[in-house]
């Protein structure tokens, strides 16, 4: 299931719902991890899946290394703040991070995956994930800087 979700191109679906993500075969960190959370909660509750938001800074250098110059050119010189969503499960009593935002080497199913974002402050979701993410974005992000970054990221990763 993780590899299926990872294979979907990174782009915002017309509605920020898992149904739209599946119908349109594209998604963001929010929709992809909401879907995985839903499936794992229903079928494997013993994994104790939980969503986590990370507030982090995107630097031009990080964006260039990870996504190339077309994306990094959209990042202001002093960087920008973003909020990333990932999933955490408990496997054999240990927390395991799952990040299915972008394609990568196949997940081994037993260890944490590298996160698609940089270091930052984690906020475990305690209520409505979308409401909590919007609140964090409102508090920490400048949409004038963030939106061009997300658009460039969508355009570049959709071609991969």
pLDDT in tens, 51-68: 999 999 999 999 999 999
pLDDT exceeds 80 at position 129: yes
Residue 160 has a pLDDT of 55
Tokens of 113: 């995956």
Whole-number percent of the chain with pLDDT over 70: 98
Instruction: Measure Cα distances from 125 to 34, 120, 144 in Å.
Output: 11, 15, 26
Q: For residue 158, name the pLDDT band (cuts at 50, 70, 90).
A: low
pLDDT exceeds 80 at position 159: no
pLDDT exceeds 60 at position 118: yes
Q: Quick: pLDDT tens for 80-115.
A: 999 999 999 999 999 999 999 999 999 999 999 999
Residue 45 has a pLDDT of 97
Residue 78 has a pLDDT of 95
Residue 157 has a pLDDT of 76
β-pair partners for 55: 83, 121
Residue 142 has a pLDDT of 95
Tokens of 86: 């990932």
**Average pLDDT value for residue range 35-59:** 97
Number of domain units in the chain: 1
DSSP conformation class of 124: E
Range of the domain at 54: 2-158
Q: Check the CA dihedral 124-132-17-32 and report its sign.
A: negative
pLDDT exceeds 90 at position 132: yes
Q: What is the mean pLDDT of the chain?
A: 95
Q: For residue 33, name the pLDDT band (cuts at 50, 70, 90).
A: very high
Q: Give the distance from CA 82 to its chain's centroid.
A: 10
């Amino acid at each position: 299931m993780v590899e299926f979700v990872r294979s979907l191109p990174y782009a915002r679906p017309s509605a920020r719902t898992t149904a739209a993500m599946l119908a349109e075969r594209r998604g963001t960190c929010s929709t992809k991890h909401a879907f995985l959370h839903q499936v794992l909660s229903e079928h494997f509750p013993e994994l104790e899946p939980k969503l986590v938001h990370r507030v982090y800074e995107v630097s031009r250098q990080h964006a260039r290394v990870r996504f190339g110059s077309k994306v990094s050119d959209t990042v202001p010189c002093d960087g920008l703040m973003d909020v990333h969503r990932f999933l955490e499960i408990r496997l054999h009593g240990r927390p395991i991070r799952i990040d299915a935002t972008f394609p990568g080497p196949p997940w081994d199913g037993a260890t944490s995956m590298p996160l698609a974002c940089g270091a930052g402050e984690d906020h475990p979701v305690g209520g409505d994930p979308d409401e909590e993410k919007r609140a964090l974005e409102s508090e920490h992000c400048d949409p004038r800087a963030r939106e061009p970054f997300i658009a460039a990221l969508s355009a570049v990763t959709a071609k991969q």
